[in-house]
Structure formats: structure tokens, C-alpha cells
Amino acid sequence: MNRLSAVLAALLLMIAIAACSTYPNLSGRPNPVVGTWIVNDVDAPLPCQMYAFNGDGTLQQANPDAGDPNSSDSDGKGIWMIDGDRIKGEWVEVTADRATHKATGRAEISCDFRVDHDAFPGTAAARSYDASGILANGPTSPARFDGKRITYP
């Protein structure tokens, strides 16, 4: 039984190490998009947004919920991936009617950009779906999308 315990402990340690690593790339170094960014999305109801690109290929988007007086949306959750020297991502926000508090659908936003040190220029496009999952709008034409990394002063 001690040998089985040792093998299981070693296996768990290897899984834990892999889970803490950054998103893989060919160089073995962390990808330069990993971190927290202030993003200017000119087509969003409130252009100033916050993004967190995590080392495991997930991303989170947040902005004040005051951009639309009729509709409320959740923070965005999604994924990102490396495509050559570019980053491609997609996230989803769930929407609800402010008056009835009922779900009205979701927005799916995709982006494409290239990190240049502590900034990125790129584009984003959106599609929206109604509560039953039917495409209601979009995809929109790609619009300018710029990020600036949050750094320690």
C-alpha cells in the first residue's frame, strides 16, 4: 500500500505542477499577453474595459454595467489562443432585461491582436443571440480594439 501511495503522490505532484504552468508556447516562456489590461473598445457601450488573460488560456472581461439603460450584462468569460504572432480570443456575456429581470440572450465577442510589449492594437467583432439561442445581430464588422498593460509604477 505504501508503494501505491507514493505513486499516487508523485502523480498528483506532476498534475499540480502542470496546472500551475503558463499557457504553452514553442519558446517555453510565458506568453506576453498573460496579465491584466485596460482596453479601449470603441464599439462597446462603455469603451473603457478591463481584461485579464490567464496563463491557462482563459480570459475575463469586465466593465461597468451602466452602458445600457435597458439591458444588463454579465462579466465576460472566455478563451484565448496563440495564432502565429497574434492572439485570438472569444468571450461570452449573458444579458438580461433590467425591468423584467429575465434573460434576454448573450453576446459573443471575438478579438484578434498582436502584443507589442505593454500594448496591443487589434480588432474585435460581436454577435448577439436571443434567449432561445437564435442569431439576433451580427457579426459586426471588426472594430478597433486597443489594450494597455497594467504595470506596477
pLDDT tens-digit series, residues 4-18: 555 555 555 455 544
On whether residue 3 sits in a domain, the answer given is no
| pLDDT score, position 19 | 47
Residue 51 lies in a domain: yes
Distance CA 105, CA 146 (A): 27
Q: Which residues touch 88 (CB under 8 Å, ≥6 apart)?
A: 80, 81, 110, 111, 112
Asked if residue 5 is part of any domain, the answer here is no
pTM of the model: 0.77
- Count the domains in the chain: 1
17 located within any domain: no
In-domain check, residue 1: no
Q: What angle do CA 112, 74, 136 make, to 5 degrees?
A: 70
Percent over 90 (pLDDT), the chain: 64
In the numeric block, the cell 439561442 is attached to 133
With respect to residue 6, please indicate whether it lies within any of the assigned structural domains.
no
CATH number of the domain that 114 lies in? 2.40.128
In a domain, 135, yes or no: yes
